[in-house]
Amino acid sequence: MKNKIIFITGSTDGIGKACARRFASAGARLVLNGRNPEKLHDLQQDLTERYAVEIFPLPFDVRDRKAVARAVESLPVEWQAVDVLINNAGLVLGIDKEHEGCLDDWEIVIDTNIKGLLTVTRLVVPGMVKRERGHIINIGSIAGDTAYPGGSVYCATKAAVKALTDGLRIDLVDTPLRVTNIKPGLVETHFSITRFYGDKAKADAVYLGLKPLTGKDIAETVFFAASAPEHVQIAEVLIMPVNQATATITYREGVNSER
Ligand code: 8X3
């Protein structure tokens, strides 16, 4: 991984941040995206204190097509040859039923999880095709395989990530590029706190009675896929805590096991 350029969207929290750490520890060069320039700056400082790593911070909101284009075009030539694109930026807001939820929130979720991923892919992948080298790793979800109560729109966006990942793999089949969908189950990050609009108690309840995955667990899987031999394409990985069996079935010590 030494000196490879890894471009990570949504790198200032959770899985994205854990990926930044994992690849930094392996000597990669990192293009780190996030919406908040201060958080990006703090992350850059933290990583450069711990590792011998070069970082190019790239603040933008994946929902803003023009900003994404400006940012990608602003990359200096020595940062343009991206080896691995990790499309991680994503979120969920609310746990409402499909016929009752907030359209404004859903627009944010759809624009980030689907259109944002597509925009970054559209801007970064042509360079990979030209260079005949690259790996696109999308962070999907178990939610893309099965809908669950209160997850309708989020699940739809992750089903879209699956379709976009599979479609891209088909479109790139005659190239040396690899395309991967990492589909986590329950991972304890800021994800549920955002979902519950900052209500930490409700977020904590999501992981009650079992040991959830961490961002680091997912970053290890992403790293594994990225460091496989070049002829090996890890198409999908579904990864869950040991006491989770499906999107809705878990075993929780002393707690009702259904979502
Ligand atoms: C995160 C997994 O099941 O909490 O994408 O939605 S889940």
pLDDT digits (tens, 9 = 90+) for 86-140: 999 999 999 999 999 999 999 999 999 999 999 999 999 999 999 999 999 999 9
In terms of Cα–Cα distance, which of 185, 114, 112 is closest to 148? Answer: 185
Q: What is the pTM of this model?
A: 0.96
> Which of 187, 192, 207, 221 has most ligand 1 atoms within 8 Å of CB, for mutation?
187
With bands split at pLDDT 50, 70 and 90, how would you rate the model's confidence at 259? low
In terms of Cα–Cα distance, which of 202, 161, 194, 198 is closest to 93? Answer: 194
Ligand 1 binding pocket includes 14 (Cβ within 6 Å)? no
In this prediction, residues 240-253 reach a mean pLDDT of 96
Backbone angles phi, psi at 162, to 5 degrees: -60, -45
> Looking at the domain 5-239, which fold is it?
Rossmann fold (3.40.50)
Q: Which residues are catalytic?
A: 154
Q: At a CB cut-off of 8 Å and minimum separation 6, what does 14 contact?
A: 187, 189, 190, 191, 215
Residues in the chain: 259
> From the alpha carbon of 151, which atom of ligand 1 is closest?
6
pLDDT digits (tens, 9 = 90+) for 37-95: 999 999 999 999 999 999 999 999 999 999 999 999 999 999 999 999 999 999 999 99
Ligand 1 binding pocket includes 114 (Cβ within 6 Å)? no
Ligand 1 binding pocket includes 157 (Cβ within 6 Å)? no
pLDDT digits (tens, 9 = 90+) for 200-239: 999 999 999 999 999 999 999 999 999 999 999 999 999 9
In this prediction, residues 17-40 reach a mean pLDDT of 98
What is the model's pLDDT at position 257? 55
Instruction: Report CA(129)–ligand 1 centroid distance (Å).
Output: 32
The 3-state DSSP class for residue 184 equals strand
Ligand 1 binding pocket includes 90 (Cβ within 6 Å)? no
Q: Indicate which residue's Cα is closest to atom 2 of ligand 1.
A: 185
> Which of 93, 145, 186, 259 has most ligand 1 atoms within 8 Å of CB, for mutation?
186
Name the CA radius of gyration of the chain, rounded.
Answer: 18
What is the model's pLDDT at position 255? 79
pLDDT digits (tens, 9 = 90+) for 136-159: 999 999 999 999 999 999 999 999
If residue 222 lies in a helix (H) or strand (E), which one and from where to where? helix 215-227
Ligand 1 binding pocket includes 93 (Cβ within 6 Å)? no
Instruction: Report CA(78)–ligand 1 centroid distance (Å).
Output: 36
In terms of Cα–Cα distance, which of 50, 41, 56, 46 is closest to 8? Answer: 56
What is the model's pLDDT at position 102? 97
Instruction: Report CA(255)–ligand 1 centroid distance (Å).
Output: 19
Helices 215-227 and 14-25 cross at an angle (nearest 10°) of 50
Instruction: Report CA(107)–ligand 1 centroid distance (Å).
Output: 18
What is the model's pLDDT at position 254? 84
Q: Indicate which residue's Cα is closest to atom 3 of ligand 1.
A: 185
- Torsion region of 233: left, alpha or beta (phi above 0 gives left; psi -120 to 50 gives alpha): beta
What is the model's pLDDT at position 258? 59
Q: At a CB cut-off of 8 Å and minimum separation 6, what does 95 contact?
A: 150, 151, 195, 196
Instruction: Report CA(186)–ligand 1 centroid distance (Å).
Output: 5
